[in-house]
Amino acid sequence: MTDVDAFDLWIRRLSSAEEPKAALVCFPHAGGSANSFFQFARGFGEFDVYGVQYPGRQDRRREPCRDSVEELAAGIAEQLDGWTDLPVVLLGNSMGALVGFEVALRLEAAGHPPLSLFACGRVAPTLRKDERTHLKSKDDFLREMVELGGMGSELLQDEEIIDIVLPPMRADYRIAEKYCCAPETRVSVPIHVHIGGADPKVTEAEAAGWRQSTTGEYSLDVHEGGHFFFTENGDGLTAAVRRAVDDALSVNA
């Protein structure tokens, strides 16, 4: 049985429905928090929506960041395994897509597979790019964050905030850039991939590699916008999640 205190530490409720048809669990980008999905969650009136709070930030800032995507996913999967009778949908953005994939692997192995996985803004799990953002100097690292849209330029003027947010961001980038799973690693749950057409971190061809990570249904959609396309206009992604859940539930009815 899931420990309530541990569950609340990892999983934060962002919105709830009177009669939810599914539970949507969102995995944030590198350096992100559960509240990164707060606005996005408001677009779902028929789901219970949750955000995952990784160690090393905000109210968990005194905890060490995990040393690998796999280790991070293991801690999350332990909390989500058998936690609800509702169909569970996983949605991850950037590094969160990798974490969501690893969580899906573990939940499926435990006999509680999610209904589907939405992977946003990330190259396929089997694709290892030679990225070394986590090794960049402080100024270069922060400049790249601003260019991606994950940090406002005004934060660069606040050294106190930088000292708080930089360590978990760099730690997350390190585990994401070192991650690569074996080509034969697959889930059977559907994987729906969504990227921004102007995302400098992932091309359509790189995103298409997710097809090899599932034996189930697969789709790829390209939206207007960059790396954080759904923070500017999440209607397309919201509609896609709704549609996939409705389709899956109608098949299983």
For the residues 164-190, what does the mean pLDDT come to?
A: 93
pLDDT level of residue 146 (50, 70, 90 thresholds): confident
- Predicted confidence at residue 35, as pLDDT, reads 93
Q: Are 57 and 22 in contact (CB under 8 A)?
A: no
The pTM of this model reads 0.93
Active-site amino acid positions: 94
Give the SS3 label for residue 30. coil
Strand partners, 23: 48, 88
Give the SS3 label for residue 8. helix
Q: What are the tens digits of pLDDT across the range 50-89?
A: 999 999 999 999 999 999 999 999 999 999 999 999 999 9
The b/e string for 59-98 (b: 16+ C-beta within 10 A; e otherwise) is ebeeeebbeebbebbebbbbbbeebeeebbbbbbbbbbbb
Q: Which of 124, 130, 245 has the alpha carbon at shortest distance from 185?
A: 124
Q: What are the tens digits of pLDDT across the range 87-110?
A: 999 999 999 999 999 999 999 999
Query: With 90 as the cut, is the pLDDT of residue 234 above it?
Result: no
Question: Amino acid letter at 162?
Answer: I
If one counts the domains in the chain, the total is: 1
The b/e string for 138-161 (b: 16+ C-beta within 10 A; e otherwise) is eeebbebbeebbbbeeeeeeeeee
- Predicted confidence at residue 1, as pLDDT, reads 44
pLDDT level of residue 5 (50, 70, 90 thresholds): confident
The encoded tokens of residue 182 equal 């074996």
| Strand 11-15, strand 47-52: pairing | antiparallel
Which residue range is the domain that position 105 belongs to?
4-252
| Strand 11-15, strand 191-196: pairing | unpaired
Return the minimum-mean-pLDDT range out of 117-121, 125-129, 133-137, 197-201: 133-137
Neighbours of 46 (CB within 10 A): 14
Could you tell me the CATH number of the domain that includes residue 139?
A: 3.40.50.1820
Q: What are the tens digits of pLDDT across the range 160-172?
A: 878 888 899 999 9
Largest CA distance in the chain: 55
Task: Return the H-helix or E-strand segment holding 221.
Answer: strand 218-223
Q: For tokens 């921004």, what's the residue?
A: 196
> How high is the mean pLDDT of the chain?
91
pLDDT level of residue 140 (50, 70, 90 thresholds): confident
